[in-house]
Amino acid sequence: MTRVKFKIYLVFVLLLGFMFLLLPMAARGTNGQSETQHKKKDEKKRKASADETSADLAQRIYTADASQYVGTETCKTCHEDIGKTFDEGPHWKTLHDKHGVQWQGCEACHGPGKEHAESADPDKIIRFAGLSREESSKRCLSCHEFGEEHANFLRSQHLKNNVGCVDCHSVHHPRVQRQLLRAAQPQLCYSCHLERKADFSRPFHHKVNEGLVSCTDCHNPHGGFLTRQLRATNAQDTLCFNCHTDKAGPFAFEHAPVKTEGCVSCHEPHGSPNPRLLKRANVNLLCLECHTFTVDSAAPAIPSFHNQAQKYQACTMCHVAIHGSNSDHFFFKP
């Protein structure tokens, strides 16, 4: 009888133990489900608020109180000289914009003009002179941000250095009607980049001062994803090959620096005292920067009989196809 009671007691204890183990697990499961439900509710609330914010923003942008807008012709009654330049420039096309009065004419940039027209108070209108470069540029980008040329201006080096749209462009009094520039290139660029003015005055230079090439052929002043705001990668030289197509290849035997470091490994892109815009006066000194007897150099060293006497100083006299060859891996022939 004692043994039977002991077995019953043991079974009862084991059942109690299992119950104590299962209860926390069940509680955790219930809590996990409730937490998941709460998270889903929070996400729905966030999405709803985000949708409401987007809707409010769209309403502010695409709808406006038309009674607060007076039209460009009203502006011209006082600003007659500016009205003439407006008619001659490209912005007159905004008068045909069908998105609303807030996108048309003078008020597309300066905001609703009713209060200003009635009081002649300059504080009742948006004046670009009182805005920061970022704020004024954002007003321009409200129309101009949808093309590849201007899409990256807010992250550009120009804006980071407090150079905005109005520093290069003048809507009302442009010196150059095309693109409404304050001055013609390259003088406009030289107003900040004086060191490049000296480069283009060197004996050998790209014909920028002569007007055959412009700064914006290679650089995008409105910014991009590449260093120095280049329009194409410098390492792969798709930029240089736009003009120097004969150097583009592809070649059966490539000159490694052209593909790894680009043209600037040997050439100065703006100007140089050396022919062909080379970085060194003597060609052999330029070649020896890579083709040396150093242990870790990836480029092959020069042969032992190239003793750097006068006849071995002009490497390209023999290696004529130095940019690449389809017939000779020593670049003796094209």
pLDDT of residue 270: 94
Residue extents of the structural domains in the chain: 157-231, 240-325
pTM of the model: 0.72
SS3 181: strand
Are 243 and 170 a contacting pair, CB within 8 Å?
no
Are 124 and 116 a contacting pair, CB within 8 Å?
yes
pLDDT of residue 294: 73
State the Cα–Cα distance between residues 189 and 180, nearest whole angstrom.
15
- In three-state form (DSSP H/G/I as H, E/B as E, the rest C), the secondary structure along 17-51 is HHHHHHHHHHHHHHHHHHHHHHHHHHHHHHHHHHH
The CA distances from residue 219 to 214, 222, 238, 326, in Å, are: 9, 9, 13, 32
Judge whether residue 331 has pLDDT over 70: yes
- Among 15-24, 67-76, 166-175, 247-256, name the one with the lowest average pLDDT: 15-24
Nearest to 214 by CA among 178, 247, 238: 178
pLDDT, one tens digit per residue, over 101-154 is 888 899 999 989 999 999 999 999 999 988 999 999 999 998 888 888 898 999
pLDDT, one tens digit per residue, over 183-224 is 999 999 999 999 999 999 999 999 999 999 999 999 999 998
Burial of 295 (0-12, 13-18, 19+ CB in 10 A): exposed
pLDDT, one tens digit per residue, over 38-88 is 555 555 544 443 343 444 444 545 567 888 899 899 999 999 989 888 888
pLDDT, one tens digit per residue, over 258-300 is 888 888 889 999 999 999 999 998 888 888 888 887 767 778 8
pLDDT of residue 33: 52
Amino acid at 332: F
**H or E element: which one contains 324?**
strand 324-325
